[in-house]
Amino acid sequence: MSISIVFELPQGISQLKDSFVDLTIKHFEQIAADHYKRKQSVENASTDSKIEDINAMLGKGLWYPPDYYLALNKFKQTKRLTWLISHNTFYHGYAPASFFEHVEDTKSPSKKRICTFDLKKGVSPTTALEALNKEFSLIDCGTALNVACLFSLREVIGEEKFNFLFEYDSPFRLRISPDCHSINRLFQRVVIEGEDSIERGDLCSFENIANQYKDGKFIGYTPKHPAEAGRALNVLCVSNEIEKKYLGLGLSPEGVNSNGIKRTLFELFNDDPIEEGIFSKQLWEYIYQNHFYQQREINIQLINSLKTVKITWEEFQGMQSRNGTIEPLDLVVLRPDVERIEQLVQAPLENIREVFARFS
């Protein structure tokens, strides 16, 4: 991942916000474009490609777990598939083991928190961050956004401060995650009235359809696709125009508007479910026992009954989303807290942890 920008401290809060947002967009554009390019390369490649070409496509970079599973299947990478499935990696993600430790979670069926990783002892935060894209990682769209924001913060406050703030022995040891990461406290949760209230640089979520009854039949994204994460798309707003544009992992690297995101959610629902081989038998058993009705046989019947269900665009637009309305946009966004970032910029190295600790 490129780190060639030379950042000069801007004068004033508004300029700092523009700079932080510009950097976040730049880094996320690169992450999204790299992922999109790799996915297209896999789709366009012949199944009898040379092994060195296959390894070049699959051996590095940030990957969305279902995409990587399908790629390994296409090229019949049985050994790698077997290892990843047996370790439930397509469920909870993966970060380079020389740089990160997966966070344990006793409530998770895999005993690991989904796409949540802590810095490993003896590794600098900068080195670990760069390894995510230089080596091989399996993460979701929310974690990809977190990575882009971390790269931006490093450039704004400087590498020395960044490493000191997030090193292994710090109270704020580096953690990447879709929801409980190291820099949660540098973002405000802002309630918006609608899309017009979204600002460039906001982190937004668009939700797929919720579990509901439609014309007397039970329907929902999650029971149709229990092994996939298309229940929501976490995106970055990259424009201030009347028609907003967004970037997201798996979306066009050119950006899409909100209608394009809705269309993507619609297509994700109508896609055939990914094959059950993506998860271990033990993980599927957990899903059968605990999801939806918490009755195994009823859950299996429900999942099987929805496998071939398709809906029309008109039907999709009239269904309730997982945020409780018929609009997919979640009305809470995460917005960079520029005043807090400015305090980190101004703080001396020896005081930066103390300053960071003040933020709730």
Chain centroid to CA 255: 16
The token duo for 65 is 């777990």
Residue with tokens 């005993």, as numbered in its chain: 111
What's residue 337's pLDDT?
95
Position 3 pLDDT exceeds 50: no
Rounded CA-CA distance 76/60 in Å is 18
Banded model confidence at residue 67, pLDDT cuts 50, 70, 90: very high
Banded model confidence at residue 108, pLDDT cuts 50, 70, 90: very high
Position 230 pLDDT exceeds 70: yes
Asked if residues 148 and 62 have their Cβ atoms less than 8 Å apart, the reply is no
What's residue 1's pLDDT?
42
Position 2 pLDDT exceeds 70: no
Burial classification of residue 291, based on how many CB atoms lie within 10 Å of its CB (0-12 exposed, 13-18 middle, 19 or more buried): middle
What's residue 158's pLDDT?
96
The token duo for 180 is 């409980």
Position 91 pLDDT exceeds 60: yes
What's residue 282's pLDDT?
92
What's residue 310's pLDDT?
95
pLDDT digits (tens, 9 = 90+) for 190-209: 999 999 999 999 999 999 99
Q: State the average pLDDT over residues 269-281.
A: 94
The token duo for 59 is 């051996």
pTM, to two decimals: 0.92
Q: Please, what is the average pLDDT of the chain?
A: 92
Banded model confidence at residue 72, pLDDT cuts 50, 70, 90: very high
User: How far from each other are the two terminal CA atoms of the chain, in whole angstroms?
Assistant: 31
Q: Hey, where are the domains in the chain?
A: 13-186+337-358, 189-333
What's residue 7's pLDDT?
41
Rounded CA-CA distance 156/91 in Å is 34
Instruction: Return the half-sphere exposure (C-beta side, CA atoms, 13 A cut-off) of residue 110.
Output: 23
Strand 112-119, strand 100-104: pairing: antiparallel
Q: Does 39 or 5 have the greater pLDDT score?
A: 39
Banded model confidence at residue 13, pLDDT cuts 50, 70, 90: low
Q: State the average pLDDT over residues 306-319.
A: 95
The token duo for 121 is 């002892």
Strand 232-237, strand 203-207: pairing: antiparallel
